[in-house]
Structure 1
Amino acid sequence: MVDNQNPTDWLKRQINEVVEELELSPSVYQILKNPKHCITVSITLERDDGSVETYTGYRSVHSNLLGPGKGGIRFHKDVNEQEVIALSMWMTLKTSILKLPFGGAKGGITVDPRELSRKELQQLSRQYIQDIEPVIGPQKDIPAPDVNTDGRVMGWMMDEFYKLRGRNIPGFITGKPPVVGGSEGRVEATGRGVVINILEAMKKLDMDPQQSSVAIQGFGNVGSVTAATLYEKGVKVVAASDIDALVTDPNGLNVPEMVKYVEANGSLKGYADDKNPDDLFDVECDVFIPSALENQITEETAPKIKAKIVAEAANGPTTEKGDEILNENGVFVIPDILCNAGGVMVSAFEWMQNDSHDHWAEKVVNERLEKDMSSAFLEVYDMRNHIDKSMRHAAYYLAVKRLGDAMIVRGWIDEER
């Protein structure tokens, strides 16, 4: 089997396999194999020095079967059309598993935000919203933060959308700061969701959290929140890496100190005796958490992983061949469409609060997140045991079945299979 680095191809094969296994109409696969639309925009940015540069932006809506599109906006130098389409497809599956009233969407700009000033970043964010404004809205497609975007960027985008529409429409975007209609707990939601999944998996595998160790790849918002939350629960974080450095301590790292260091310095570089980030795969640990970008666990790196659990905090961190190796080695993989779904779940809570002009306390948000995420994990776990397949296959099984049922109800396909 080829270690395919294009996630869309493997994703389509997984969907088609489940459609055939469920004996659904072939039309289900035909509807799900391509996005409803993917627009490409060219963004002209005047730099602070007066020069002009052009950047490419994308917005893909894969499905509106269960509701308006939902998905983040990422700023990264490697963003491309195929990546955005694949991410929007994963979002469709993710919202289906969680039983949320959304379809899947994703967007991004091909840019290294570290090369832009704050003023340039704001101008780029506003121009992107100007260009995609016709296809977004609270009942059409609802953006949110993703890689290298945050509440500040969402605030700029919200303001630009208000100017274009001439009125306040807070539900058009989620991940906003609470002062302008955002939800409490949204910033930490993805990381908290990852931890909820890990702790549920530990229960099923008879692992004691306080006798377990974790290694985390990626120390941005999701990775750092995941690390800090696990640290609070007594789990030993023995390694953490980002794009610049790897830090390790078999006795456990001081995560709060690391978080403060990264906030002050922007990276783990220079913290303690940092090492090559690629050496993370060689670290002895019970739980390995990829929390960076796609295609990190591959045919080359998967055999190095010694963990009992791989918790996919990133989207698409494992290639097809990497996944095959993990399964052969008996690793319990919590798939991305389940593991990192806490963010979209609390985004849904934010959208609901905006729609009802309500504001929930952080305690309420976190309690509901834990209840709903635990329920989703247990449903996937039970399906895994029922069909005797991997957690990833069970997650796809549940997601595709619900999508197929919805197509019948909406009259998109014939009920006879």
Structure 2
Amino acid sequence: MFEIAKQRLEPVFKLIEVDEEVITRLSYPKRSIKASIPVRMDDGSLRIFTGYRVQYDDTRGPTKGGIRYHPRVNEDEVTSLSFWMTVKCAVAGLPFGGAKGGITVNPKELSQLELERLSRGYIRAFADILGESRDIPAPDVYTNATIMGWMADEYSVLARRQAPGIITGKPLHLNGSEGRESATGSGALHVLNEYCKRQQLNPAELTVAIQGFGNAGFHFAQLAQEAGFRIVAVSDSQGGIYSENSLNIKDIKNHKDDTNQLESVLCNGTVCTLQTFQRLSNAELLELKVDVLVLAALENQITQENAHRIQAHLVLEIANGPITPQADEILEAQGIAVIPDVLANNGGVVVSYFEWVQNRSGLYWELEEVQTRLAKTMRREANTVFDLANEFQTSLRTAAYLHGIKRLAGAIDQRGNHKLFKKAP
């Protein structure tokens, strides 16, 4: 997976000249650590979980990146994600490098108390390489504000001081930021709106299918529906539902929270009726004939095996790495535009940066200010990427990487390279 991730750089280096040292530096992670995390289970037994933290590059500032809990977490995946985070932070213009972490675990199999012990154990295992000016974690797949709160508290216990800036994505009462929970979905919508303006597309005339109904997928769906987009299909890990007349996202979310089922309930007064929708698999959702396909689940969802069956006019990547390079080529040949992850899902890390700034300064912003700053950042960087795509006549993905690599290359060069050394007489 890491080798696939690095393939994204090849088209960029064909368009601009960068020093060989930049290519060398960006080809390897700075630090990669694997740790055993012992957890006392509720039945008294002891289980050992494997945790990872990869700090890819810190040229532009302390590293930043989420922690995910998933059975498939491994060193290769975490390294790839830390590479993407490095590019993402540069694309967003943030003073951060990239990092990522994770634990190989199915969190659904753990009790709440076991989950807390595991989360605190992760911080104990990696505390020596974390810090407000070193490496700042955040939520990712199957982690949330509650888990970030446990982790921040554990770090404060170990450090013998209050250190709210050690982690972002925390609960509001533990010095979290307004607007953080919806930030990834909101940021993606800002990028999509800018794209629609440029293409003179009317949201009310666009149908949208969304793979992934977690935090990012849900908030994007709700905000997009409020903005006028027609959400006709959504899915989670168990499958999806489809309605050509559009779905009611709030009703679906409320019913899923109550029953863990992706359904919808229509209420008229005190009388509620379960809505019936067409059931479909995640694979079938990807192949729906819609205007916009939103990928908000996991990596490698569109590959060379299914890319030729994609019928959407536009693909929006909210997940990290949901399209392989080979699939990218197929989609481009079919005339399907892709708004890439390193631009589209930056809302989360942008508001994480805002939270870090607030934690460090002790001054906290109201929701309106957070949303205004997020919109300004996302619109600015999106239009820069769109302009680069037009200038170089390339895909939006290559343009986004070009934007980020320019900033990274500048920082690496200005720290000093071989050009500063003169040959001895």
State the TM-score, normalized to the length of structure 2: 0.94
C-alpha distance 413-265 of structure 1, shift in aligned 2 (>3 A)? farther
Question: Using the alignment, how far apart are the partners of 2:420 and 2:288 within structure 1?
Answer: 51
Question: Using the alignment, how far apart are the partners of 1:294 and 1:260 within structure 2?
Answer: 27
Shift of 1:13: 2.8
1:13-162 correspondence to structure 2 within 5 Å: 13-162=7-156
* Residue in structure 2 matching 1:11, options 5, 17, 22: 5
Q: Find out whether 1:287 has 2:292 as its counterpart.
A: yes
* Residue in structure 1 matching 2:180, options 177, 183, 186: 186
Residues 49-58 or 110-119, more deviating: 49-58
Question: Using the alignment, how far apart are the partners of 1:266 and 1:194 within structure 2?
Answer: 25
The CA deviation string for residues 133-189 of structure 1, in whole angstroms up to 9 with x for no partner, is 000000000000000001000000011001000000111100011111111000000
* Residue in structure 2 matching 1:224, options 204, 218, 222: 218
* Residue in structure 1 matching 2:208, options 203, 208, 214: 214
The CA deviation string for residues 326-376 of structure 1, in whole angstroms up to 9 with x for no partner, is 111111111000000000000000011111101100011011111110000
Q: Find out whether 1:362 has 2:356 as its counterpart.
A: no
Question: Using the alignment, how far apart are the partners of 1:389 and 1:154 within structure 2?
Answer: 39
Residues 131-140 or 405-414, more deviating: 405-414
Residue in 2 aligned with 1:307? 312
Residue in 1 aligned with 2:160? 166
C-alpha distance 254-355 of structure 1, shift in aligned 2 (>3 A)? same
Shift of 1:266: 2.9
What letter is aligned with 1:177? P
* Residue in structure 2 matching 1:234, options 210, 228, 236: 228
Kindly indicate whether the alpha-carbon contact (under 8 Å) linking 1:19 and 1:26 is maintained by their aligned counterparts in 2.
Answer: no
Residue in 2 aligned with 1:277? 282
C-alpha distance 60-386 of structure 1, shift in aligned 2 (>3 A)? same
What letter is aligned with 1:173? I
Question: Using the alignment, how far apart are the partners of 1:99 and 1:414 within structure 2?
Answer: 26
Three-state SS of the structure 2 residue aligned to 1:229 is helix
The CA deviation string for residues 259-300 of structure 1, in whole angstroms up to 9 with x for no partner, is 111222234279744332221123221100010000001112
Question: Using the alignment, how far apart are the partners of 1:269 and 1:257 within structure 2?
Answer: 8
Residue in 1 aligned with 2:404? 399
Three-state SS of the structure 1 residue aligned to 2:158 is helix
Kindly indicate whether the alpha-carbon contact (under 8 Å) linking 1:228 and 1:255 is maintained by their aligned counterparts in 2.
Answer: yes
Q: Find out whether 1:177 has 2:182 as its counterpart.
A: no
Kindly indicate whether the alpha-carbon contact (under 8 Å) linking 1:19 and 1:28 is maintained by their aligned counterparts in 2.
Answer: no
Three-state SS of the structure 2 residue aligned to 1:414 is helix
**Structure index of larger Rg:** 2
C-alpha distance 167-112 of structure 1, shift in aligned 2 (>3 A)? same
Question: Using the alignment, how far apart are the partners of 1:141 and 1:117 within structure 2?
Answer: 28
Question: Using the alignment, how far apart are the partners of 1:37 and 1:363 within structure 2?
Answer: 38
Three-state SS of the structure 2 residue aligned to 1:162 is helix
Residue in 1 aligned with 2:192? 198
What letter is aligned with 2:410? D
Residue in 2 aligned with 1:375? 380
Question: Using the alignment, how far apart are the partners of 1:415 and 1:374 within structure 2?
Answer: 37
Residue in 1 aligned with 2:331? 326
Shift of 1:17: 4.1
Kindly indicate whether the alpha-carbon contact (under 8 Å) linking 2:255 and 2:263 is maintained by their aligned counterparts in 1.
Answer: no
The CA deviation string for residues 61-108 of structure 1, in whole angstroms up to 9 with x for no partner, is 000000000000000010010110000000110111111000000000
The count of corresponding residues between Structure 1 and Structure 2 is 410
Question: Using the alignment, how far apart are the partners of 2:46 and 2:407 within structure 1?
Answer: 47
Three-state SS of the structure 2 residue aligned to 1:402 is helix
Three-state SS of the structure 2 residue aligned to 1:40 is strand
State the TM-score, normalized to the length of structure 1: 0.96
Kindly indicate whether the alpha-carbon contact (under 8 Å) linking 2:186 and 2:223 is maintained by their aligned counterparts in 1.
Answer: yes
Question: Using the alignment, how far apart are the partners of 2:125 and 2:137 within structure 1?
Answer: 14
Kindly indicate whether the alpha-carbon contact (under 8 Å) linking 1:18 and 1:397 is maintained by their aligned counterparts in 2.
Answer: yes
The CA deviation string for residues 2-23 of structure 1, in whole angstroms up to 9 with x for no partner, is xxxx2x2132233244235322
Kindly indicate whether the alpha-carbon contact (under 8 Å) linking 1:296 and 1:317 is maintained by their aligned counterparts in 2.
Answer: yes
C-alpha distance 268-404 of structure 1, shift in aligned 2 (>3 A)? same
Kindly indicate whether the alpha-carbon contact (under 8 Å) linking 2:22 and 2:413 is maintained by their aligned counterparts in 1.
Answer: no
The CA deviation string for residues 215-261 of structure 1, in whole angstroms up to 9 with x for no partner, is 00000000000100011112110000111021000010011101111
Gaps of 5+ in 1: 1-5
Question: Using the alignment, how far apart are the partners of 1:207 and 1:165 within structure 2?
Answer: 52
Question: Using the alignment, how far apart are the partners of 2:418 and 2:346 within structure 1?
Answer: 28
Kindly indicate whether the alpha-carbon contact (under 8 Å) linking 2:188 and 2:344 is maintained by their aligned counterparts in 1.
Answer: yes
Question: Using the alignment, how far apart are the partners of 2:5 and 2:84 within structure 1?
Answer: 8
